[in-house]
Structure 1
Amino acid sequence: MQIKDSVVFITGANRGLGLAFAKAALAAGARKVYGGARDPKSITLPGVTPVALDVTQPAQAEAAARACGDVTLLINNAGISRGSSFLGSPDAVAAARAELETNFFGPWALAQAFAPVLAANGGGGMINVLSALSWTTFPSVATYSATKSAAWSLSNGLRNELAAQGTQVTSLHVGYMDTDMAAHAEGDKASPDDVARQALAGVEAGQPEVLADEVSRQLKQGLSSPTPPYAGSPQAA
């Protein structure tokens, strides 16, 4: 599909990568851009139509789909990280449940709500924002990684189920980006603006997957190695 003249709906569009997606879609000639956020007043980018949306509330996803019946590209961007390990964080289960609601059940609910809309508008496309951490994990982000692994499987399943109606599903993987979520992290960080442009270009090229930085490309390549990245460091004998 082409971004020019498309109608784009972005979750979590008020900041970070979501805001970058809105800017990139407008720059690419999208006819209309909807920005979903819990507080629609936080959507201030000119040219973006604010929509009240909490992705953890399926009824709000359904209401958004009814109100935005002209959408041709859904971007599931909203995500959270509680910085929790599996065993070392006292609130790990609560953290995982919160992350799952936003990172897994949220995109699922949006996909369910908007699938008929996309079908009615010729098929269109969907971008699911995943992570390089879909393929590996660290103690400080263990629960987050688990939710992104689940979201990767969700994205692959949606691609299979939506193919019959002509809807293209593109998974976006990236490591640390220069956003609020990664403000604590050290090292190189990808530009959200560059990541958004790559993702939209991937949609136009019909790519099922966009690896937006060197970290995600190296991790994906390593999945077939004898010591894949998710196996961790070898233990001393």
Structure 2
Amino acid sequence: MQIKNAVALVTGANGGIGQYYVEALLTAGASRIYAGARNPKSLDAIAATDPQRIIPISLDIIDEKSVIAAAAKCSDVNLLINNAGIGLLKGFISATDLTSARSEMEVNYFGTLNMCRAFAPVLQANGGGAIVNMLSILAKVNLPMNASYCASKAAALLMTQGIRAELAAQGTLVIGVMPGTVDTEASKHFPPPKVAPEIVAQTALQAVIDEIEDVYPGEQAMQMAAQLLQDPKALEKAMAAMLPN
């Protein structure tokens, strides 16, 4: 699949990595980009960069009615980028209750699943296309200071694999993007190394072109992926030192 002339939808397009996906799609020549956010007004600045190609839409991925409405409105999409997500920096036991864990699962797992289910027939009607799910290398190893986030991304990783299997027959490529720490406002308190969000977006789009199903943007993610193959227990123990406050 080529990005040039593609019609894409980016969830969580109003901040973090989302705006960089929109910019990367513009640069790569996408013909139309639906930029989704719960508050479309938050997309005014990025939409103004190319109002002919960037179309803001109201989209709350945990609201099934909102997702179904988006699928009806964006019926020409052949590239779905599930970027919306949250991380609340909570442990499993140290958290005061399950509110944060439920919220992360609701957005990162069920919200992404909502989008995949709603847009699978849209992609099929448009020739198959591709789904890009923004995950994390923490889908494969737990960071205790952000423990329940890791669990939600692990669930999303297995969901990505299952959806990949189910949609193979309709020709839909399903990609899991697993960066390490991304240099955004949300990670400002995390130590380096960090990967630039524009690199994450560019790497993910290149994976669509090259049909690479699992991609690890940045040096940190690639090193951790290698460690998980060589000595996963050693990496688990190293991460275990980073406990929640």
Give the conservation status (yes or no) of the 8 Å contact 2:227–2:235: no
- Counterpart of 2:12, as a letter, is G
In structure 1, the residue matched to 2:35 is 35
In structure 2, the residue matched to 1:53 is 59
- What secondary structure does 1:126 align onto? strand
In structure 2, the residue matched to 1:25 is 25
Give the conservation status (yes or no) of the 8 Å contact 1:103–1:148: yes
| Residue 234 to residue 4, structure 1, CA distance change in 2 (3 Å) | closer
Alignment: residue pair count = 234
Give me the whole-angstrom Cα distance separating, in 2, the residues matched to 1:234 and 1:19.
30
Superposition deviation, residue 226 in structure 1: 4.3
| Residue 216 to residue 234, structure 1, CA distance change in 2 (3 Å) | closer
Superposition deviation, residue 227 in structure 1: 4.2
- What secondary structure does 2:112 align onto? helix
Superposition deviation, residue 58 in structure 1: 1.3
Provide the TM-score with structure 2 as the length reference.
0.92
In structure 1, the residue matched to 2:209 is 204
| Residue 227 to residue 15, structure 1, CA distance change in 2 (3 Å) | closer
Q: What is the root-mean-square deviation in Å for CA atoms of aligned residues?
A: 1.5
What runs of 5+ residues in structure 2 fail to find an aligned partner?
Answer: 241-245
In structure 2, the residue matched to 1:16 is 16
Give me the whole-angstrom Cα distance separating, in 1, the residues matched to 2:236 and 2:191.
23
Give the conservation status (yes or no) of the 8 Å contact 2:138–2:180: yes
Provide the TM-score with structure 1 as the length reference.
0.95
In structure 1, the residue matched to 2:181 is 176
- Counterpart of 1:81, as a letter, is G
| Residue 17 to residue 139, structure 1, CA distance change in 2 (3 Å) | same
| Alignment deviations for residues 55-96 of structure 1 (CA, whole Å, 9 cap, x no partner) | 1111111110000000000000001011100111213x1111
Give the conservation status (yes or no) of the 8 Å contact 1:135–1:219: no
| Alignment deviations for residues 98-155 of structure 1 (CA, whole Å, 9 cap, x no partner) | 0011100011000000000000000000100000111111221000000011111011
Give me the whole-angstrom Cα distance separating, in 1, the residues matched to 2:152 and 2:203.
23
Give me the whole-angstrom Cα distance separating, in 1, the residues matched to 2:174 and 2:199.
20
Give the conservation status (yes or no) of the 8 Å contact 2:180–2:195: yes
- Counterpart of 1:52, as a letter, is S
- What secondary structure does 2:17 align onto? helix
Give me the whole-angstrom Cα distance separating, in 1, the residues matched to 2:212 and 2:74.
25
- Counterpart of 1:200, as a letter, is L
Give the conservation status (yes or no) of the 8 Å contact 1:137–1:230: no
